[in-house]
């Protein structure tokens, strides 16, 4: 890849300003940018300054315009006639290129040596990205532009995500008992909230048991009264002894009195785990998998249709 060739257009505001532009050019050259400006010419170019400037602008990959108060005045023909002929000529050439080239604002880059000079950026380039070169960050941003090395590179385009429909959006109030192990309470709370948001009436002990009620009486009753029972499975739930297994027994007892086609007892994996032997005859869904929760919704919607709940076609 060839070194980017640039031309630096500036005004001779003061010796200090001239020196600062030279330092900028030298720094760019040290960083691999083939910078050109009038100070490198010994005396006068054989072809004359007008032609020399025109050729430098035409052949440059980019033209840096060092904007300052003096530069703005001379390009705008505010200074007295005869002052700053070089800048006036360069300005007219730059404006002509801006008119001729559709992408000229990409090739012509406004820069300022101090942030106080931003207000002097020439009118035709005020909508362009400019660079303030009074800090390392500002210089590096310019260098990235000239060398086409962006600070942030886009990642590779990934595989298109598969999004499952969130229908049915309502479950018509179907009552759902959430059978679970206390160790899985956090995940079950999330499931409770999602089902409620989709129009179901989930039953969760910490939400629906009233103070003073006897849980050993109320839980079996809630299982019997539920339109469906979701058994929340995890390694902890399956392998640990506890009331969870008794709740499954209650639900299986109710299932035995249901028609064979009834979708009443639904095993749901909260995480990867073994399915208890007595539930293996029922198809299981994992809500941790993509689309798993939507499958659970479709199953509950089918149950609502079986029960001919209000609003179900």
Sketch the domain layout of the chain as residue ranges: 5-147, 175-306
Is 39's pLDDT higher than 80? yes
Is 312's pLDDT higher than 90? no
User: How far apart (Å, rounded) are the C-alpha atoms in residues 269 and 282?
Assistant: 12
Mean pLDDT of 144-148: 94
pLDDT per residue as tens digits for the range 87-101: 655 666 565 655 555
Q: Out of 44-48, 79-83, 111-115, 132-136, which region has the weakest mean confidence (pLDDT)?
A: 79-83
Is 141's pLDDT higher than 90? yes
User: How far apart (Å, rounded) are the C-alpha atoms in residues 243 and 246?
Assistant: 5
Is 82's pLDDT higher than 60? no
pLDDT per residue as tens digits for the range 13-33: 899 999 999 999 999 999 999
What does the mean pLDDT of the chain come to? 87
How far out from the chain centre does Cα 309 lie?
A: 42
The answer to whether the 5-147 and 175-306 domains have the same CATH topology is yes
Coil, helix or strand at residue 93: helix
Residue pair 278/244 in contact by the 8 Å Cβ criterion: no
Give the pLDDT band of residue 173 (cuts 50, 70, 90). confident
Mean pLDDT of 198-204: 93
pLDDT per residue as tens digits for the range 249-295: 999 999 999 999 999 999 999 999 999 999 999 999 999 998 999 99
> What's the pLDDT score for residue 96?
61
User: According to the CATH classification, is domain 5-147 in 3.40.50.11530?
Assistant: yes
Third-level CATH fold of 175-306: Rossmann fold (3.40.50)
Residue pair 120/72 in contact by the 8 Å Cβ criterion: yes
Q: Is the pTM of this model over 0.85?
A: no
Residue pair 226/195 in contact by the 8 Å Cβ criterion: no
């Amino acid at each position: 890849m060839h070194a980017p060739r640039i031309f630096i257009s500036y005004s001779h505001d003061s010796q200090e300003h001239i020196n600062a532009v030279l330092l900028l050019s030298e720094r760019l050259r040290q960083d691999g940018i083939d910078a050109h400006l009038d100070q490198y010419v010994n005396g006068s170019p054989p072809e004359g300054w007008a032609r020399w400037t025109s050729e430098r602008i035409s052949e440059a990959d980019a033209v840096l315009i060092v904007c300052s108060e003096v530069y703005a005045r001379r390009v705008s023909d505010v200074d007295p006639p005869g002052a700053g002929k070089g800048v006036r000529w360069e300005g007219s050439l730059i404006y002509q290129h801006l008119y001729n080239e559709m992408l000229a604002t990409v090739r012509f880059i406004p820069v300022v040596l101090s942030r106080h000079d931003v207000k002097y950026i020439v009118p035709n380039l005020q909508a362009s990205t400019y660079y303030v070169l009074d800090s390392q960050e500002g210089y590096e941003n310019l260098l990235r532009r000239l060398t086409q090395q962006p600070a942030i590179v886009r990642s590779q385009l990934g595989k298109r995500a598969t999004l499952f429909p969130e229908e049915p959006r309502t479950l018509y109030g179907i009552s759902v008992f959430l059978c679970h192990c206390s160790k899985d309470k956090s995940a079950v709370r999330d499931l409770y909230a999602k089902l409620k948001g989709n129009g179901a009436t989930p039953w969760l002990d910490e939400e629906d048991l009233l103070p003073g009620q006897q849980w050993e009486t109320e839980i079996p009753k809630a299982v019997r009264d539920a339109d469906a029972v979701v058994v929340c499975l995890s390694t902890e739930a399956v392998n640990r002894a506890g009331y969870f297994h008794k709740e499954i027994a209650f639900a299986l007892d109710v299932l035995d009195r249901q028609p064979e086609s009834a979708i009443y007892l639904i095993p749901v994996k909260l995480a990867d785990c073994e399915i208890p032997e007595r539930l293996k005859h029922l198809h299981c869904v994992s809500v941790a998998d993509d689309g798993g929760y939507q499958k659970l919704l479709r199953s509950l919607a089918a149950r609502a249709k079986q029960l001919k709940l209000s609003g179900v076609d």
